Structure formats: C-alpha cells, structure tokens
Chain A
C-alpha cells in the first residue's frame, strides 16, 4: 500500500503562507491511497446525507412481520430483511447517516473540551498544571468503553443527543495532553514574548497566537477521533445501550441479528463492512495528515 511513509518522492518545500488546512488537502491529494480513501469516504458521507433519496424503503417500516421477516438477500432486498421485516439495506443507509453524525458531533464536543483543558493546563503551568495532569492520568487509565458502560447503564433509554454528549465527554483526554505539550513548548516562543511585550492579554495570546498553532494536531485528532467514536458507538449499540430503537445505527442493526447470527448472517456482515470501510478510510486520512504535519515541522 503506497503511503506517505513509504514514498520517497521529492516534496515541494511548503509555501511560506500555506495554512495547515491547505497543506493537509494538498498532501491528501498527492497519494493514490489517500485519494482513494477520500473518494470512498465521500461516497459513504453522500449516502448518509442523501439517505431519504437513496434508501429503497422506509428504514423503520415493518411491512409484514410474518411473511417478510428474516428474508435472505434478494433483488428486492439486497441486504435481506430483519426479524421485524425491515429492509436491512435501507437501515444500513440510514445507519450511515446516524453513525457519521454521532461521530462528527461527539468529536466536536471532545475537541472543544480537550483544547480548553490542555491549553489552560499548559499555559497556567506550575501546581495547576501538575494537578490537572494527574487527574488526566487517572481518566486515561479508565478504559473508555467501561466508563461509558458505567454511565449509560445508569440512564436507560438515552436519547441520541445525550449519547453524543457522553461520547464527547469521554473522548478528550488524549488530545488535551497533546495540546498541553504544544502550548508548553510555544509558551516561551519569541512571538509569544513579543505579543506579551506589546501588552496583549492572556486571553488574546491564547486565542490569537497559540490556538492557530494547534490546528494541525487538532485536525489529525479529529479525523482519528471520528473513527474511534464510530467504533465505540457501534459497540455500545451492539450491547444494547447505544442508539435506541427504532432508529438504525450500524451497531444496533448487528444487535438486532445477534441472537441468530448463524441464520441471519446478512445482518452482521453488511453493516460491518460499511463500518470497516468508513473507519479504515478515516484512519488512512488521519495518518496521512499526521505525516504531512510531521514532515513540515
């Protein structure tokens, strides 16, 4: 698989005023693998966005609970039907919509928290920093899935919005450590000293001088973070404490067929394939971006 790490093609020196985002896009378009990943991800995202137009059936319609249930894949139902006679293809398409949306929204929540926590700890330094980092160590040592199970079991039948918040609340620990490291390193950079000498407030220094330098690690963390949330949400839905019925997510479609895995194999195979494709493309893109930013610095 040709990727940024293997390729030794000469790299154009970064243009002086190129923003991190422009650099990232230019970099992603450079390799066949990441171009392919962009296309595949684009198709999945479009599928999710256009779900009402593409899906052949209503994802929660139960046309005939007796005659049309548990049908294997056929022309009428390419991915078969589930024990409630719902069309699995339509559910997978709507599942793309929901799983991607949860991934993006939860990641926005955790990015906000991670950047805030990390930059405060890094900028404050001293005892505040030490205490904040020890707390972070503890939070990092609780496996995220276990923490979420503990929370979600206490609130049975949670709405999707609340699920997004909890996924976001438990996803910022790693990023805030990276952000803190960056802020710590940049705190004494000359341009920060210069800004301070000019009388800039702490707030202004943090928001206008430090934050723009954090864009690259944030973009990488966001890409990989979305992939992680998609897997977590699927796992929780598979355990029956994620997305509530009758809404479809990739995880709870698999859960619907879990009792009869052997006979209803289409219910775990197809949503799982979509999930792996999505996560894989996000991982490829996230790592390509990381390479781009690491080479530059």
Chain B
C-alpha cells in the first residue's frame, strides 16, 4: 500500500513537471513574446517594455529562462496578470474555491443521479423505461456543455424567470441582506449552474454505471443470491451495486477533466466567478500569463483528483489493500 502510494506520488510529480515544460514551451513557441498585448500598445513606453523583458528574464538564454521559470512555479509564482493588474496566483486563489464548490456539488449530484438512473434501468432492463432512459442519457451525453448552458440560461432566467441571471450573489442587494438572506441569495445563484453541470455529467455516469452493473449480473454470486430467493431489488442493492462500486471509483478519477472543462463553459455562461470565467475572460483580453496559469492549475487539479481516486480505489479494494 505504502509502496503503491509512493509510486503514485512520484508519477503525479512527473506529470506536473511535464505540464510545466509544456506550458513553458507554449509561452516560447508563440510568435512575439508573452507581452505582445502590452508591447503593441503605443501608450506603453520602450523603457517599460525593456523593464518587463528584463524582469521576466526574456533577454536571457532559453535554458536559463527555463530553470528560472520552474523555480518560480515551485514557489507558486505564476507571473503577472495584465488585465487584473495583480499576480496571477492571487487572481486564481480567489477564483479556484468557487470552481471547486461548483465541481464538488456537480460531482456528488451527478454520481447520485447517474447511479440512480442506472439502477432503474438495470432493474427493468430491456423495458421501454430502460430504452427511454438510454435515449435521454445519450442525448445529454452528446450535448456540448456550452449549448446546454445557453439553453438553461434562456429557459430558466428569461422565459421562465425562476433563477437570477448570473454571478455568485446579487450585485446590489447582497450587501443589505441578513445572514439568512445572504445564504439564500448564494444558493439561488448557485442552483442553475450546478444543476446544468449535474445534468451534463450524470448522463455519462448513468451510461457507464449501467454497463458496469450489467457486467456484474452474470456472476455466480448473483445467481446464488437469486437461488436463495432474494428479490431482484435486494440483489441489485446488496450484491450488484456493491460490486459495481470499484468501477464507480475509477469513473470518479476519469471524470475530472470533463467536469473541469464543463465548469469552464458553465462559469462563463452564468458569470460564476471561478477559474473558468477568469481564464475565458483572459482569452478576450489576451492576458497570456493568466491563461497559462489557469492551464497549469487546472491540470494540477485534474492530476490531484485522479490521484485521490486511485488512493480511494486502493483503499476500497481489499485485494490491493493487502499489498
């Protein structure tokens, strides 16, 4: 177990190192330098440009720049965000918790909903209900994240104005609310983006979990349970679901990239002040350091997520726990 953990940690470190190399390469393959947006601005004097170049070491040889860059990354320095006029790490530090909140809610919600749908389908496998649910989950699975987000925004904020249009809190009234009112205000703003992400992600979970349950059903112990006279419901809940739990944990690790990508679009559409919104807005302002910082932090989040899922897997699987 400890050896496995160690190997897995080393692997995660290697991944982060490669991500850092790629992001360094990205910055340097690009035409001009990362300050093109500032450099092209006629109001920025040559003196400022030279200072910036020197400050970032852009006048040094590449290997030296690379060492410098890795050193800065290791200290958590992701550079300077032009559009926010603050360090990138500060911008992301305020945004990442909002993204995590959205992702955690979406993760929990989509797994609960997806597993429930899969159970209903498998309990009535081959029936019209099963086919209808397969069709619906395929439909949502095939839907681009941003399109469902736009449709949800249109439907539930403009046509049926149930939810507020965007942001994390009411821009004017939040200040004047009591504690209870503030909590309700936050939840109202969180509801629609979170629900959209849950619907998107649960389609994949349901499809995967249905297949996992169907894989388990032909097993001998299921036949034994059936011969013991257990009802189909009990078999599913107590025998099949429990043994289809390991694939759920694998899926957990696999779903982080898609979830993060989904969060990027959903945050943009609902103006949810997370990392996705910060990076997408940085695309518009050509704030290159902020974009690359987001890519690095996003990749690290995904790596940590799958590391966590692997550890959970090792802990949950008695065959691995023994080692």
* A joins B in a complex: yes
Q: Is A53 an interface residue (CB 8 A)?
A: no
Establish whether residues B302 and A1, one from each chain, have CB atoms under 8 Å apart when the complex forms.
Answer: no
Give chain A interface residues in 11-43, CB to chain B under 8 Å. none
Contact assessment for B22 and A141 in the assembled complex, using a CB-CB cutoff below 8 Å: no
A67 to B307, CA, bound (A): 57
Q: Which residues of chain B have a CB within 8 Å of any CB of chain A?
A: 11, 14-15, 18-19, 22-23, 26-27, 29-31, 125-126, 130-132, 134-135, 138-139, 141-147, 150-151, 153-154, 158, 211, 214, 257-258, 260-261, 264-265, 268, 279-280, 282-284, 286, 288, 291-292, 294-295, 298-299, 302-303, 306
Tell whether A155 pairs with B30 under 8 Å between CB atoms, given A141-B299, A142-B295: yes
Task: Judge whether B15 and A137 touch: CB under 8 Å.
Answer: yes
User: B131, A2: Cβ atoms under 8 Å?
Assistant: yes
Q: Which 8 A-B pairs have the closest CB atoms?
A: A154-B30, A138-B18, A280-B142, A143-B257, A272-B147, A279-B142, A1-B135, A138-B15
Enumerate chain A residues within 8 angstroms of B154, measured Cβ to Cβ. Answer: 261-262, 265, 268
Q: A143-B298, A240-B283, A280-B138 are in contact. List 19 more A-B contacts (CB 8 A).
A: A1-B134, A5-B214, A138-B15, A141-B15, A141-B299, A141-B302, A143-B257, A145-B261, A146-B294, A149-B279, A149-B291, A150-B23, A150-B26, A154-B26, A241-B283, A275-B144, A276-B144, A280-B139, A284-B138
Question: Which A227-280 residues have a C-beta within 8 angstroms of B?
Answer: 227, 231, 234-235, 238-241, 254, 258, 261-262, 265, 268-269, 272, 275-276, 279-280
* Interface residue A63 (Cβ < 8 Å from any Cβ of B): no
* Nearest opposing residue in chain A for B14, CB measure: A134
The smallest beta-carbon distance between B48 and chain A, in angstroms, is 22
Q: List 5 A-B contacts (CB under 8 A).
A: A141-B19, A142-B299, A146-B294, A146-B295, A272-B147
Bound-state Cα–Cα, A265 to B163, Å: 18
Q: How far is the CB of B75 from chain A (nearest CB, A)?
A: 21
Judge whether B11 and A1 touch: CB under 8 Å.
no
* Chain A contacts for B286, CB-based, 8 A: 153, 156
Interface residues of A (CB under 8 A from B): 1-3, 5-6, 134-135, 137-139, 141-147, 149-151, 153-156, 227, 231, 234-235, 238-241, 254, 258, 261-262, 265, 268-269, 272, 275-276, 279-280, 283-284
Cβ-defined contact, B291 with A150, below 8 A: yes
Main secondary structure of the interface of A (DSSP, over half): helix
Q: Which residue of B lies closest to A231 (CB)?
A: B144
B299 and A146 contacting across the interface, CB-CB below 8 Å: yes
Residues of A within 8 A of B298 (CB): 142-143, 146
Chain B interface secondary structure, helix, strand, loop or mixed? helix
Chain A positions within 8 Å of B30 at CB level: 154-155
User: Do residues A6 and B279 form an inter-chain contact, with CB atoms below 8 A?
Assistant: no
Residue of A1, A239, A268 most packed against chain B (CB within 10 A): A1
A266 CB to closest chain B CB, in angstroms?
A: 11
B308 to chain A, nearest CB (A): 13
Nearest residue (CB) in B for A2 is B131
- The reply to whether A141 and B283 contact each other, CB–CB distance below 8 Å, is no
Q: How far is the CA of A137 from the CA of B17 in the complex (A)?
A: 12
Chain A residues within 8 Å of B147, by CB:
234, 254, 268, 272, 275-276
The CA of A31 and the CA of B237, in the complex, are separated in Å by 32
**Residue in B288, B295, B299 with the greatest tally of chain A CB atoms within 10 Å:** B295
Quick check: B284 and A240 within 8 Å, CB to CB?
Answer: yes
The distance in angstroms between the C-alpha atoms of A265 and B151, with both chains bound, is: 9
Knowing A149-B279, A240-B284, the reply to whether A142 touches B302 (Cβ < 8 A) is yes
User: In chain A, what residue has the closest Cβ to B157?
Assistant: A262
Residues of chain A within 8 A of B303, CB atoms compared:
141
Q: Which residue of A lies closest to B37 (CB)?
A: A156
Output the least CB separation between A218 and chain B (Å): 22
A-chain residues with CB within 8 Å of residue B141 when the two chains form the complex: 283
- Whether A154 pairs with B27 at a CB distance below 8 angstroms is yes
Partner of A235, one of B29, B135, B144, B211: B144
Docked CA distance A148–B139 (Å): 26
Q: Which residues of chain A have C-beta atoms less than 8 A from B211's C-beta?
A: 5
The answer on a CB contact under 8 Å between B153 and A154 is no
CB pair B15–A276 under 8 Å, yes or no, is: no
The answer to whether B150 and A268 touch across the interface, beta carbons within 8 angstroms, is yes
Give complex CA distance A227, B139 in Å: 13
Which residues of chain B come closer than 8 Å to A137, judged between CB atoms?
A: 11, 14-15
A1 and B294 alpha carbons, distance in the complex (Å): 41
- A234 x B144 contact (CB < 8 A): yes
Residue of B nearest to A236 (CB): B283
Chain A residues in 8 Å Cβ range of B132: 1
B264 shortest CB reach to chain A, Å: 7
Nearest CB in chain A: distance from B313 CB, A: 16
* Residues A150 and B131 in contact in the complex (CB < 8 Å), given A262-B158, A283-B142: no
With A141-B15, A144-B257, A153-B288 already in contact, the answer to whether A261 and B150 are too (CB < 8 A) is yes
Within the complex, the shortest CB–CB distance from A67 to chain B, in Å, comes to 26
Kindly list chain B residues whose C-beta atoms are within 8 Å of the C-beta of A135: 18
Whether the pair B279, A272 counts as a contact (CB closer than 8 A) is: no
Q: How far is the CB of B87 from chain A (nearest CB, A)?
A: 19
* B159 to A: closest C-beta gap in Å: 9
